[in-house]
Structure 1
Amino acid sequence: MKASIVAAAAAMVAGANARAHGHRHAHRMLEKRDAETCGCTTVYSTIYGTDFTIIPAATSAFNPVAVPEPTGAVEVPTPIAQICPTPGTYTFPATTVVVTETTTVCAPSFTEVPSGTHTLGGVTTVVTTATTVVCPVATTETQDGTVTSVIKTTTFVCPEAGTYTIAPITTVVPTPTTVVVPVVTTICPGTYTAPEITTTVTATNTVIYCPFTSVGAPEPTAEPTSAPQPPAEEPAKEPVKEQTPPSLGGGQRWAMTYTPFREDGTCKTASEVNTDVAAIASAGFSTLRVYSTDCDTLPNVGAACRTYGLRLIVGVFIGSPGCENGNPTVTAQIDALKNWDGWDLVDLVVVGNEALFNGFCNVSQLTSLIERTKSELSGVGYTGPYTTTDVVSAWENNDVSSLCSVIDVVACNAHAYFNAGTRPADAGKFVRGQLSIVESICNKPGYILETGWPTAGKCYGVACPGVEEQAEAIHSIEAEIGSKSVFFSFRNDPWKQPGECGCERNWGCAQVFGV
């Protein structure tokens, strides 16, 4: 992985997006969230602003510093930056770190960005009256040519009610680049291991990051009773190719959600589906996301995607009565997937859509269901990635460590409309910030599997629906993070209830893309 180390401020967000989708929607306003302690990881995640610095990869390193005011070096399991100055084959030994007490550090978070101007960092907060905000900010200090990430406390005076971004920064990159952003992270007690890796690099000043994984609670240590013996020599190992995340996303118009329902909620015919998919393909999208297997979704949408050269994200939808393995609706969907022969079209399987937020599953149940789905679909030829998707608050407010261990990529649904402090023009920055949060929680590459803006409904603060507002918001998202976002949705859904927001029927956005 070729990387540029980016000095960026990371921050505590004043709220978490929360909403639900399936064949019905239920939305909730952005909620204030408080930092959590161990039991689950606390992450003050990155959002986006202005002013920015790039530090050359070959002279940069992350040296995490515990806060407040550490009295000595603290060894923590943050990804190790291994610098490869010249082309060649490198072997990095396994490393184990035992954490015995809760430690707050600057940990690196990785984000791939295309060429151009990008905004990163900053603390965004919404206040209802004049107040002074005190919050931790991840920043960097340079000494003797080495860049060290540190956490500092900043004080910001909000003179009146409104939305404020504190300490934002910006950058311009000439080519597609993996940037590394320091993020304020709490490490809980446990034993963490980075496995040995052998990799071949072909470019100069390449930086390889070796992440740690948790392998259990720390074991008690004892003083050795004799001098340690040198390790036995091991036979030479074959070089192992560097592991890369699943190849998903791409282009500013990656994917669109699609449900094969008519305006009255009945199922569309194969011919009607074909017409819809042709229109989506003509707008420049490469992928469709479907939620379940009802209405002959797999054969009809699959055939249309094959005709027009589109890829598929398929799903197992979870509603009432929940996601226990005995749920006949879930079983029927898994069986339909097993009996389908279109796996060469599929880039991702999504088990559950906001199932945690809606209370249809707990983390243990959802983890078990994903494991079951993986086991059953592996027997019919699917070898690609799996995930689940939920609102950011569901990822934050649960101990999702077991869930992170069974998914290949992390995903969230993010709708800036439900954040009262976000105008349509800033929707893209909000959505990118939401994705950064969940990527930090699971330390995996992430994707937005639902995002959009309604054309009708009520206003939430400065976030108002409308045709012009929708176009402005979607173009903002497309420009900021379109390559990792699934737009919601193709057409309006008059068959849905309007909901408390009055907006549930009005998310169709095909016209924004000229279809």
Structure 2
Amino acid sequence: MKASVMAAAAAMLASGVSAARNHGHRHAHALFEKKGLENTDDVCTPGCTTIYSTITGEMTIVPPPPKTTSVAPEPTPEPTTTGPITVPTPIPQTCPTPGTYTFPATTVVVTETTTVCGATTTEVPEGTHTLGGVTTVVETATTVVCPVATTETHNGVVTSVIKTTTFVCPSAGTYTIAPITTVVPSVTTVVVPVVTTYCPGTYTAPAVVTTITETNVVVYCPFTSSEEVPAPTPVPSSTQELPPPAQSSEVPPPAQSSEVSTPPPSLGGGKLWAMTYTPFTPAGDCKSANEVMDDVAVIAQAGFTTLRVYSTDCDTLPNVGAAARKHGLRMIIGIFIGKVGCDNTHPDVANQISALKEWSQWDLVDLCVVANEALFNGFCTVSELTSLITRTKTELASVGYTGPFTTTDIVGAWTDNDMSSICEVIDVVAANSHAYFNSATQPSDAGKFVAGQLAIVEKVCGKPGYIMETGWPKSGKCNGVACAGKTEQHTAIEAIKTELGSKVVFFSFRDDPWKQPGDCNCEQHWGCGTVFGV
């Protein structure tokens, strides 16, 4: 359960920058020795090195909405456009004198994905304010190179630009790169430059007629509609692309072990997708089959469609499988890798593969997750994990499993390693993302944060992505503005559910008193069933 690393400019500004942190939760039983991992500091090593030089728009303080009092008719003034229109950024039009202005409709065709300096607005009170920029959290002294949206002034004219900035972080901590400072005399809406990406398509700004009662007012005419342009046919490559989900509910024919499987139509979807589940008592012992059945019944009652299990110990497969079947739930199965590493022949690994093969109730399974944060914890190298996934695919295919495979890790593990070999052997990408471990993220912004993390991971392999763990603790220390608490947990989880509930697995069903509290004093308190009314 960690937050992670951001790697794209648009994602930086959409969701802030993430942090990676090992807060040490554990999921299986004998494998985990009932102990959490040692905690480390937040880590973020941005990999954004793309350079842009587009200049567009004017950063202007927007006055209050124009009054509707009548004004003596004047000849229609000529609006002044502050710059050429090449992408569908809101068009700034300067109205130098009071009067009625007509702005004609404008159409812009974007033929390729284009990143420019756009704008967003925010209302601020009287005083000095620092806005925009890129916030990053780093674990150690490092140099960050990334594109940021900022402003430049030439001959009294302020323009918004995207510039590549090199920023030296002298030590571990949270840094805001290239923010903008503005001073306002009263409550004012300020336009702040942001990095904006436009996909191919036809964008239209409709005609606007407006009456202006003040001098030198800047009006922004936004583009409100777009029609996507079909993407060019991709050149075939050695990496198999995932086709869209089939509409038929029939099970596809068995796939060859060397091919990438196709995710079934049931993967994700609905307002709520999945909940993590470990069959342990508060003392850390194994629950009985009846206790598991009762737990799964209330998870189904809450509206979830799927359960994620991490391993095969504590009779997880037969007990959780039977309960899932009875209550109509799907399963995400897994192989857990601990300190023993990725050795395919180690009993802890081999026994889990054997247990899956013996169980073989594939009609319940939507996804197989091989390893949970094994790269981040140093339990596997990329090549070892690739080998383990390949072996698991071959073994399970031999007993009829044709569903998709993945591995899950923090976002930093995806962006800081060469994952090309893993991308070739998985069907979807997956990450664990917890906004609580980003000290700059409030509970209400947890959904945007996790969505930003998912977008980063999806770009690594160019495949669909899912969040295998996300949540918020209801007790523990404050981490910057990210404070633990029952109210905060409810706010954060509602935000995540609203943003992308159909693609996330919430962590966890109940609290885990058997764990060590950890440095954050939160490890035992991630149970979120009460948020969903169970």
Distance 1:282 1:15, change over 3 A: closer
**Contact conserved, 1:256 with 1:488, CA < 8 A, in 2?**
yes
Distance 1:250 1:168, change over 3 A: farther
Equivalent in the alignment of 1:485: 504
Equivalent residues in 2 for 1:72-111 (5 A)?
none
Letter in 2 for 1:157: P
Q: Quick check: which has more Rg, 1 or 2?
A: 2
**Contact conserved, 2:10 with 2:196, CA < 8 A, in 1?**
no
Equivalent in the alignment of 2:530: 511
Equivalent in the alignment of 1:33: 45
Cα distance in 1 for residues equivalent to 2:51 and 2:492: 27
1:17 to 17, 20, 26: 20
Letter in 2 for 1:260: P
Equivalent in the alignment of 2:230: 207
**Contact conserved, 2:51 with 2:164, CA < 8 A, in 1?**
no
Q: Secondary structure at the match of 1:349?
A: strand
Cα distance in 2 for residues equivalent to 1:440 and 1:243: 17
**Contact conserved, 1:256 with 1:285, CA < 8 A, in 2?**
yes
**Contact conserved, 2:133 with 2:178, CA < 8 A, in 1?**
no
1:250 to 252, 262, 269: 269
Cα distance in 1 for residues equivalent to 2:107 and 2:369: 36
1:395 to 414, 424, 436: 414
**Contact conserved, 1:417 with 1:460, CA < 8 A, in 2?**
yes
Equivalent in the alignment of 1:277: 296
**Contact conserved, 1:21 with 1:353, CA < 8 A, in 2?**
no
1:136 to 139, 147, 156: 147
**Contact conserved, 2:306 with 2:332, CA < 8 A, in 1?**
yes
Equivalent in the alignment of 2:66: none
Equivalent in the alignment of 1:125: 135
Alpha-carbon offset, residue 22 of structure 1: 3.3
**Contact conserved, 1:455 with 1:507, CA < 8 A, in 2?**
yes
**Contact conserved, 2:26 with 2:515, CA < 8 A, in 1?**
no
**Contact conserved, 2:48 with 2:146, CA < 8 A, in 1?**
no
Deviations 1:153-193 (A, max 9, x none): 58943559xxxx9745899xxxxxxx9599xxxxxxxxxxx
What residue ranges of structure 1 are gaps of 5+ in the alignment? 1-7, 45-51, 65-104, 107-121, 139-149, 172-178, 183-203, 217-239
**Contact conserved, 1:43 with 1:441, CA < 8 A, in 2?**
no
Distance 1:242 1:467, change over 3 A: closer
Q: Quick check: 1:408 aligned with 2:427?
A: yes
Alpha-carbon offset, residue 457 of structure 1: 1.2
Equivalent in the alignment of 1:346: 365
Q: Secondary structure at the match of 1:339?
A: helix
Distance 1:180 1:249, change over 3 A: farther
Distance 1:308 1:334, change over 3 A: same
Q: Secondary structure at the match of 2:279?
A: coil
Alpha-carbon offset, residue 373 of structure 1: 0.1
Q: Quick check: 1:373 aligned with 2:392?
A: yes
Alpha-carbon offset, residue 325 of structure 1: 1.1
Equivalent residues in 2 for 1:280-295 (5 A)?
280-295=299-314
Q: Quick check: 1:61 aligned with 2:73?
A: no
1:419 to 426, 438, 441: 438
**Contact conserved, 2:309 with 2:331, CA < 8 A, in 1?**
yes
CA-based RMSD: 3.9
Letter in 1 for 2:366: D
Alpha-carbon offset, residue 18 of structure 1: 3.1
User: Identity percentage over the alignment?
Assistant: 58
Equivalent in the alignment of 1:321: 340
Cα distance in 2 for residues equivalent to 1:156 and 1:43: 15
Alpha-carbon offset, residue 398 of structure 1: 1.2
**Contact conserved, 1:28 with 1:418, CA < 8 A, in 2?**
no
**Contact conserved, 1:18 with 1:392, CA < 8 A, in 2?**
no
Distance 1:455 1:273, change over 3 A: same
Alpha-carbon offset, residue 503 of structure 1: 0.7
Cα distance in 2 for residues equivalent to 1:43 and 1:333: 47
TM-score (norm 1): 0.65
**Contact conserved, 1:389 with 1:413, CA < 8 A, in 2?**
yes
Letter in 1 for 2:291: E
**Contact conserved, 2:11 with 2:455, CA < 8 A, in 1?**
no
Cα distance in 2 for residues equivalent to 1:403 and 1:316: 16
Cα distance in 1 for residues equivalent to 2:233 and 2:410: 29
Cα distance in 2 for residues equivalent to 1:329 and 1:127: 36
Alpha-carbon offset, residue 359 of structure 1: 0.7
Cα distance in 2 for residues equivalent to 1:241 and 1:499: 40
Cα distance in 2 for residues equivalent to 1:409 and 1:354: 16
**Contact conserved, 2:200 with 2:229, CA < 8 A, in 1?**
no
TM-score (norm 2): 0.62
Equivalent in the alignment of 1:304: 323
Cα distance in 2 for residues equivalent to 1:322 and 1:381: 27
Deviations 1:187-213 (A, max 9, x none): xxxxxxxxxxxxxxxxx9773565568
2:479 to 460, 475, 479: 460
Cα distance in 1 for residues equivalent to 2:277 and 2:432: 15
Number of paired residues?
A: 373
